[in-house]
Structure 1
């Protein structure tokens, strides 16, 4: 997808909006997300997604502070931008810039060549997640559907 008007609503499927997941570690959460994305998009390889997310984390944590992380990677064979939103039951250590545990993650998987879309979406996400009341509202959600409605609804 090379549409320059990509938004969260265009890339996030309800099936990849998961509320209050139990996570024990950064690695386990990224495995969980990789598994869910590959389940929703069978043309994508779960192991490749996980390896690319981990490789990106090795370059520097995607934990942006205040309990938020935006794990992301480029992926060969990916033909569209894919988003996944996960809130955690309890925060996990994520090597975030403020050393706080992460409990709110928005994962982005983009085609290998989607450089400008990738950067634009990261910018949109960072801006949205900079709004503390919006993040608090996401954290307060108690169902996958409620979380999906909150992130895609009018705010």
Structure 2
């Protein structure tokens, strides 16, 4: 599994700023609707429901919001780079500027977990994070994400 199979180039965006986590989730949900045909309100509800269970800020300025949704046929991603970091209640208490939202079919089980592990391991790389932060062009951001070696998830 590779990130290039999870996130389409059109699902990679750079935003100058999001006013709140809720607004960011709305933007991600609208993008998921445009790119993957997934109902925006269902996606928003699922992302917020998952976030209410515990924050998805994993540290180092990275958040991995995720949700399982009816209607999807495969795991899909939306990547957003923020110019102005948001508070995400991250484990290291640092604001988040790199957000990879992972959307999976309701019954995806292992594929969802493998994809989550892949994204997590990829964004744990400090050099990759630095390259993402140094660029704002969506095509370049997608190329950086896709250039990471295909990490074998457990």
TM-score by length of 2: 0.92
Contact 1:21–1:86 (8 Å) recurs in 2: no
Contact kept? 2:2, 2:146, Cα under 8 Å: no
Q: For residue 104 of structure 1, give the secondary structure of its aligned residue in structure 2.
A: strand
| CA distance in 2 between partners of 1:103 and 1:113 (Å) | 30
Equivalences for residues 75-154 of structure 1 within 5 A: 75-153=69-147
How far, CA to CA, are the matches of 1:102 and 1:10 in structure 2?
24
User: How many residues align structurally?
Assistant: 149
Partner of 1:62: 56
CA distance in 2, matches of 1:9, 1:46: 23
Q: Deviation of residue 21 (structure 1)?
A: 3.9
* Partner SS, residue 127 of structure 1: helix
TM-score where L is the length of structure 1: 0.91
**Distance in 2, Cα, partners of 1:60 & 1:122:** 16
> What SS does structure 1 have at the residue aligned with 2:9?
strand
SS at match of 1:24: coil
Instruction: Tell me the equivalent position of 2:12.
Output: 17
Per-residue deviation, 1:125: 1.3
Deviation, 1:154, is 5.7
Over the aligned positions, Cα root-mean-square deviation in angstroms equals 1.2
